[in-house]
Structure 1
Amino acid sequence: MEEIGVHELSLRYLARKAGVSEAAPSHHFAGKEGLLAAIAADGFRDLAALRVAIAESDETALSKAYRMMRVYVEFAQRYKGLFELMVGPRIVARDSYPELSTETMKSFRLFASSVEQFALEKQWEERSLALVTHAAWSVEHGLATLILSDRMPQSDKPLSIDQVVEFSISMFLSAVAAGASSLEEVMMHIQGLHGAGKTRRTRR
């Protein structure tokens, strides 16, 4: 993955690297996509192992939530080619590979559970937890993909990647810590802006 990238990877290339016959991979995998799905599943298994260690630690809920999000970004930085395969569009029929689906969900549930536990500590209601989790997912995945595409930080800004990652995750978690009432206040203000915009358009 790191040497030639997912698009150039072939069963023939891997057979040569493994020192086996060119026909050997076809005895274990249903074509190239089957092999890629198995590799992606291994990637999610490795990520889940890192997250299990965090979940089983004696750290606070805040620390666990932060580290769960941070380790996702760090994994992407460390294994760029593998990460792109894990989350990218190369594997079209992802649901056709049970192992990949299982390992993906295991990693996600570890992450989601830690974020939800922190949110519950801050008095968020059960009905809001899925939204909180998806917002956290957007932050960690957005950071990872922007970094890997060399789009962050912008060249004219004197920032390091580490600064941006730490600040972004911390800012999200500080919003969770502020509680649902703080979010409701902001959303009411935003809805007011939308309403004002509609009124202006109607008058025109």
Structure 2
Amino acid sequence: MASTKPRYHHGDLREELLRASLQLIETEGLAAVSLRRVAREAGVSPGAPYHHFTDRAALLAALSTRGFELLREELIAARDRATTPLDGLATLADAYARFAREQPSYFRLMFRPELSQPEKHPDTTAAGEATFAVLSEAVAAAVESGDLRAADAQLLAMTWWSLAHGLASLSVDGKLPERAKMLGTTVPELTDRITRLFAELVDSTRSRD
């Protein structure tokens, strides 16, 4: 019989449950996650997870929230390294795609439709909006610097998000690595070239106005 002796430090049960859930997703897939299974992986009693999560959906929503928080940190760090506002947009798209490559389990979970319901998971929704706000702020900075037109700000924010999310999804699904190999380059290099090409196209369009 497996031991139920806790493997976590006092007060860290919630973190241990999240860690065990993510590990299950990485090794066996999302279907393997249940509160009972997570409890067993964490080395606690079957009822212990209910002190922190009402059901499986609440557990997955908390993990999704954590993913958005981690992505937001990555985006802020990337934005702060940029030399110009327009360069910042390219850097953000690259960081977004890199996060998906490095954290595929988080990335796949974060955008599941059943977890994107504000009335059921307000914390997850708020974390997602805070992450998108980093991109919106970067677009606003590019508008203020004269690199982008104010009238196009909202549309461009969605366009940049679509570019970043598309690259991330292609990378996680294995399509971008295939294309990079055909072009004799790496996924990071290809992502960087695509995002910077798009930034140059935006800049050239503005210059013709």
Question: Does 2:193 correspond to 1:167?
Answer: yes
CA shift digits 1:71-116 (9 cap, x unpaired): 1111111111111001234536354211101111111101221133
Question: Counterpart of 2:38?
Answer: 14
The structure with the larger Rg is: 1
Aligned partner of 1:140: which letter? A
Is the alpha carbon distance of 1:48 and 1:92 closer, same or farther for their aligned partners in structure 2, counting shifts above 3 Å?
A: closer
**Contact 1:47 1:75 survives alignment (8 Å):** yes
Q: Shift of residue 151 of structure 1? A: 1.4
Q: Shift of residue 11 of structure 1? A: 1.3
**Contact 2:89 2:160 survives alignment (8 Å):** no
Q: Shift of residue 181 of structure 1? A: 6.2
Take 1:69 and 1:36, find their aligned partners in 2: how far apart are those partners? 26
Take 2:149 and 2:87, find their aligned partners in 1: how far apart are those partners? 21
Aligned partner of 2:110: which letter? M
**Contact 1:38 1:100 survives alignment (8 Å):** yes
Is the alpha carbon distance of 1:123 and 1:79 closer, same or farther for their aligned partners in structure 2, counting shifts above 3 Å?
A: closer
Question: Does 2:117 correspond to 1:93?
Answer: yes
5+ residue gaps in structure 1?
185-204
Q: Shift of residue 163 of structure 1? A: 2.7
CA shift digits 1:111-151 (9 cap, x unpaired): 22113322442453322111111111111100010111111
Question: Counterpart of 2:184?
Answer: 158
- State the superposition RMSD in angstroms: 2.3
Question: Counterpart of 1:49?
Answer: 73
Is the alpha carbon distance of 1:92 and 1:128 closer, same or farther for their aligned partners in structure 2, counting shifts above 3 Å?
A: closer
Question: Does 2:156 correspond to 1:104?
Answer: no
The aligned length equals: 183
Question: Does 2:94 correspond to 1:70?
Answer: yes
Aligned partner of 1:118: which letter? A
**Contact 1:122 1:179 survives alignment (8 Å):** no
Deviates more, 1:26-35 or 1:116-125: 116-125
5+ residue gaps in structure 2?
1-24
Take 1:127 and 1:39, find their aligned partners in 2: how far apart are those partners? 36
**Contact 2:140 2:153 survives alignment (8 Å):** yes
Take 1:116 and 1:139, find their aligned partners in 2: how far apart are those partners? 18
Question: Counterpart of 2:140?
Answer: 116
Identity, in percent, stands at 26
**Contact 2:79 2:91 survives alignment (8 Å):** no
Give TM-score, length-normalised by structure 2: 0.77
Is the alpha carbon distance of 1:90 and 1:151 closer, same or farther for their aligned partners in structure 2, counting shifts above 3 Å?
A: farther
Take 1:105 and 1:52, find their aligned partners in 2: how far apart are those partners? 14
**Contact 2:78 2:95 survives alignment (8 Å):** no
Question: Counterpart of 1:200?
Answer: none
